[in-house]
Amino acid sequence: MLGLSLTEPEDGAQVDGTEVKVAGKTAPGAVVSVDDAVVLADKQGYFSVVVDLEESPHTIEVVASDAEGNEVDLTRTVFSTQLGD
């Protein structure tokens, strides 16, 4: 079974800019999409990417998929102090 965990950001986090780092762990080599960005997990399964916040609150959708076609997703909502509520 394909797993996915996020180490940052925490759900409900407030950030002081218009971008946020999204990092976590899944299966080694899995394809991870974070909003419009796509990255590959490293050989330990770790990944990270910086995404732009276009609004506040902003819901970040993270989807991991493996070569067998398994897919798992998580969301995090963050707030930008620069974009207002």
**The overall pTM is greater than 0.85:** yes
User: Exposed (0-12), middle (13-18) or buried (19+): which is 48, by Cβ within 10 Å?
Assistant: middle
CA distance linking residue 45 with residue 79, whole number of Å: 27
Q: Is the peptide bond before 57 cis (omega within 30 degrees of 0)?
A: yes
> In 4-75, which residue ranges form alpha helices assigned H by DSSP?
none
What's the rounded Cα separation, in Å, for the pair 46 and 54?
A: 25
Question: How high is the pLDDT of residue 83?
Answer: 79
At 54, the pLDDT band (50, 70, 90 cuts) reads confident
Q: Domains of the chain (ranges plus CATH)? A: 4-80 (2.60.40.10)
